[in-house]
Structure 1
Amino acid sequence: MLQAFSLFTIPQARYGKINDVTPVRFRFSASKALVALHYMVRECDGIDLHAGLKACYFADKEHLNRYGRPIFGATYKAMKFGPVPLEIYEMAKGEALWLAELQMDRFPWRLEGYRLRLADNGHLDEDELSPSDWVCFHEGLAKSRGLDFNSRTAATHGADWQAANLGIMKYEDMLEDTEDKADRIVELQETAPFVRM
């Protein structure tokens, strides 16, 4: 029988035991983040970092709840103005580490202040994201762009953000409260490191 879930209790799984020491972690997909950032900048030239990064958060969280895996698998840090996907933020800033990882000389965008601007309208490999990835990404982008800064920030300050207490967020906290949440957490703890993003 499942216990009531709160920020201070761990639900009991029907099959297996939740490992409350090791959080669920996925392997980050830099190639998917590249496509998503390039698409955002191409479609919304001048999009601000807050809107772009929150679009990725909304999309990852929605895809996780619908399909059992995020799109990007980023590491989310709970910051004052909401979750920040750290690797995607680094890519948006143009960090060389991600250029090397992706075997590129430059990104097709540039950061001007806090806005991303299109720098190169090169090829966008839309096949890098699955159909379900695209659906959730479009929904996340529309949601993020449809909110002003304060509303967007408030929309990201849910239980998952609060549980992180300005630290690294846990994917298990991003799951909606459902009857099978504990079982989903156990399954993710066992499979997340092996999921192909």
Structure 2
Amino acid sequence: MKLLNKIELFDNEKAVNALLYVARALPDGGTHKVFKVLYFAERQHLATYGASILSDNFVRMANGPVPSSVYYLVKAVRGQFSLPLEPTFAASLHARLSASSPKELRALAEPDEDYLAETERECLDEAIAYCRPFGFGKLSDVSHDSAWQAVPEGHEMSMLDIATAGGATGEMLQYIQTVMENRTQLLA
């Protein structure tokens, strides 16, 4: 199953490999830290390259941005949410990730890095290094950027606002807007 996003189709396999990539680098990070790494990597990749890593919608939550479709995958691993996943993928998901509690997310397998472009891995690595020293409270605080502040809690954050918070130039924002409009037309 692929979930429609405003930018493109969400790719479950790519998302799992991004989770594995981050969880492997931060074995004691937990979902909060992993989600913040994904947010900062997404923000930087959008601002620098004009492209999304996850093609997920980030939602403003009290403790910072949360990638919504990735969150549902993690909840499915925990057994807290039933997604209509293809059975082979669902079995593979449980064999590769463990999330027995909200504070725990463990990689049980190596990521298939072929799912992640070199620029995506670079942004993930930078976000991992940035987030690694922060505890829960500090990480929440630093993720409360202008994109997070622009919407009420529980609402989807704008990709353009996320790119702006990452330092995107006006030209890059125009490029992202054009790509979003073109994909919307193609998917209509």
**TM-score, normalising length from structure 2?**
0.79
- 1:39: how far off? 2.2
Q: Is contact 2:146-2:161 (8 Å) kept?
A: yes
Give me the whole-angstrom Cα distance separating, in 2, the residues matched to 1:79 and 1:153. Answer: 10
Q: Is contact 2:50-2:172 (8 Å) kept?
A: no
Change in CA separation of 1:115 and 1:191 when aligned onto 2, cut-off 3 Å: same
Give me the whole-angstrom Cα distance separating, in 2, the residues matched to 1:43 and 1:159. Answer: 27
- 1:46: how far off? 3.1
Q: Is contact 1:46-1:115 (8 Å) kept?
A: yes
Match of 2:158 among 170, 173, 177: 170
Match of 1:127 among 111, 114, 117: 114
Change in CA separation of 1:101 and 1:33 when aligned onto 2, cut-off 3 Å: farther
1:13 matched residue in structure 2: none
CA offset digits 1:164-186 (Å, max 9, x no partner): 12111110111226343662353
Aligned amino acid, residue 150 of structure 1: G
2:83 matched residue in structure 1: 97
Partner of 1:175: helix, strand, or coil?
helix
- 1:37: how far off? 1.2
1:3 matched residue in structure 2: none
Q: Tell whether 2:11 aligns with 1:29.
A: yes
Q: Is contact 1:78-1:161 (8 Å) kept?
A: yes
Q: Tell whether 2:171 aligns with 1:184.
A: no
CA offset digits 1:107-162 (Å, max 9, x no partner): 312113221134x33x5311110100100111112222222212211111111111
Q: Percent identity?
A: 27
Unaligned runs of 5+ in 2: none
Q: Is contact 2:25-2:128 (8 Å) kept?
A: no
What is the RMSD computed on CA atoms of the aligned residues?
2.6
Match of 1:63 among 34, 45, 62: 45
1:72 matched residue in structure 2: 54
**Runs of at least 4 residues off by over 4 Å:** 192-195
Aligned amino acid, residue 188 of structure 1: V
Which protein has the bigger helix share?
A: 2
Q: What is the 5 A alignment of 1:42-57?
A: 42-57=24-39
Match of 2:146 among 145, 152, 159: 159
Partner of 2:99: helix, strand, or coil?
strand
2:127 matched residue in structure 1: 140
Q: Is contact 2:50-2:176 (8 Å) kept?
A: no
Give me the whole-angstrom Cα distance separating, in 2, the residues matched to 1:191 and 1:67. Answer: 17
1:87 matched residue in structure 2: 69
Change in CA separation of 1:102 and 1:76 when aligned onto 2, cut-off 3 Å: farther
Aligned amino acid, residue 124 of structure 1: P
